[in-house]
Amino acid sequence: MVGRIFFAWMKGSRLDCDAKKWRLFADGLNDLAIFLEIVAPAFPPIFTLTICVSGVFKSIVGVAGGATRAALTMHQARRDNMADVSAKDGSQETLVNLAGLLVSLLLTPLVTDNILLTYLLYALFTSLHLYANYRAVRGVVMETLNQARLSLTVNDFLRLGKVPPPSSVNPREPLLPAFHRRLSVRLGAPLNSILHSAYDYQRATENNQKNYLLGLHRNAGTVSICLRQGAGSVDVIEACFHAEILHQLLHQDVSAWSVERDTFTQLQETVKAARDERLWDAVAATHLLVDQLFPRLLSEARSAGWETQRNQLGADEWRAQWRLEAKKRQ
């Protein structure tokens, strides 16, 4: 019970954003829990501890599996028929469990008192299970943008000059928990994580008439984005697009880009030569680039089939108010 509570508290807000990744994680953790139950009798001194750890793993599987199932069911309910999809998903699971029960009746007499065969069959069926789930999750094509899909989309846009469709991006989305960026994005951060003085406020709002403020901490490897009260989904996508441009400038080779190559090359040289940890000059300059490039990205993304009126970018709940010096670009 404590494991369920702590996992939901720590990772609950991320389950919607990376539903496919956490679905695969739940499957793998469930198989690990079963493995611990199988090997527990071989270690009598720690039998109780092993079974308890397996129970915690299964409780986490219950949270992650149930939550991601709901997210994927919502994605599959294209006619707003969540109840219908959920009912048929339950029937499919019941059918599979029935087939598993019949097979287990045949296998149980064979594996009784034969621990080697038990381990071999477990390894075989677990491998098939993980492979089938990986292929199933990989086949899901989601039209909403999360951090990973946005990163791939922006990268293709800058390199090739066009926005790829969801069917091209989803098969390349990383599904393993080991995936991490060299520059992490904190979206919906509190204002004091960006502004520490009047000078910071002046630099953060320079060339900026948007519904977000962005602060870069190069040494910490983070981009903090404070959203303005009333910021919508398009504003959130624009803020993450801006953060992705900064990530590319800091950690990627921009010489092969087809979009604004000369401008980005010059900016990258400026960034490399700068000693300012906050890189306010680069942030102000990229505001102008975002003004120029984002309308094109947004238009092509909608034409390619991406959903922009909602997103799964994982914004926190912090919002702030500040004065815009001029009328915001429509």
CA 218, CA 212: separation in Å to the nearest integer? 19
pLDDT tens-digit profile of 144-191? 999 999 999 999 999 998 999 999 999 999 887 655 567 788 999 999
Domain boundary residue, one of 138, 159, 180: 138
Q: Is there a single domain that holds both residue 282 and residue 151?
A: yes
Considering the entire predicted model, what is its pTM? Answer: 0.85
Q: Is there a single domain that holds both residue 301 and residue 275?
A: yes
Q: Is there a single domain that holds both residue 159 and residue 47?
A: no
Q: Which domain holds residue 64?
A: 2-138
- Could you tell me the two tokens for 57? 């793993």
Q: Is there a single domain that holds both residue 303 and residue 282?
A: yes
Percent of the chain clearing pLDDT 70 (strictly above): 96
Q: How confident is the model at residue 327 (pLDDT cuts 50, 70, 90)?
A: very low
pLDDT of residue 330: 40
- Mean pLDDT (whole number) for 17-35: 91
**pLDDT above 50 for 142:** yes
pLDDT of residue 177: 63
- Mean pLDDT (whole number) for 315-319: 90
Q: Is there a single domain that holds both residue 86 and residue 174?
A: no
Q: Is residue 326 part of a domain?
A: no
pLDDT tens-digit profile of 197-234? 888 888 888 888 899 999 988 888 889 999 999 899 99
Count of domains forming the chain: 2
Q: Is there a single domain that holds both residue 191 and residue 293?
A: yes
Q: How confident is the model at residue 264 (pLDDT cuts 50, 70, 90)?
A: confident
Nearest residue to 256 (alpha-carbon basis) of 152, 150, 156: 156
Q: Is there a single domain that holds both residue 134 and residue 151?
A: no
Nearest residue to 282 (alpha-carbon basis) of 259, 264, 296: 264
Q: What HEC string does the chain produce?
A: CHHHHHHHHHHHHHCCCCHHHHHHHHHHHHHHHHHHHHHHHHCHHHHHHHHHHHHHHHHHHHHHHHHHHHHHHHHHCCCCCHHHHHHHHHHHHHHHHHHHHHHHHHHHHHHCCCHHHHHHHHHHHHHHHHHHHHHHHHCCCCCECCHHHHHHHHHHHHHHCCCCCHHHHHHHCCCCCCCCCCCEEEECCCHHHCCCCHHHHHHHCCCCCCCEEEEEECCCCEEEEEEECCCCHHHHHHHHHHHHHHHHHHHCCCCCCCCCHHHHHHHHHHHHHCCCCCCHHHHHHHHHHHHHHHHHHHHHHHHHCCECCCCCCCCCCCEECCCCCCCCCC
Q: Is there a single domain that holds both residue 134 and residue 154?
A: no
Average pLDDT, the chain: 88
End-to-end CA distance of the chain: 49
**pLDDT above 90 for 250:** no
- Mean pLDDT (whole number) for 255-278: 83
Domain boundary residue, one of 138, 161, 190: 138
Q: Is there a single domain that holds both residue 170 and residue 227?
A: yes
**pLDDT above 70 for 325:** no
Q: Is residue 70 part of a domain?
A: yes
Percent of the chain clearing pLDDT 90 (strictly above): 45
pLDDT tens-digit profile of 27-67? 999 999 999 998 998 889 999 999 999 999 999 999 988 88
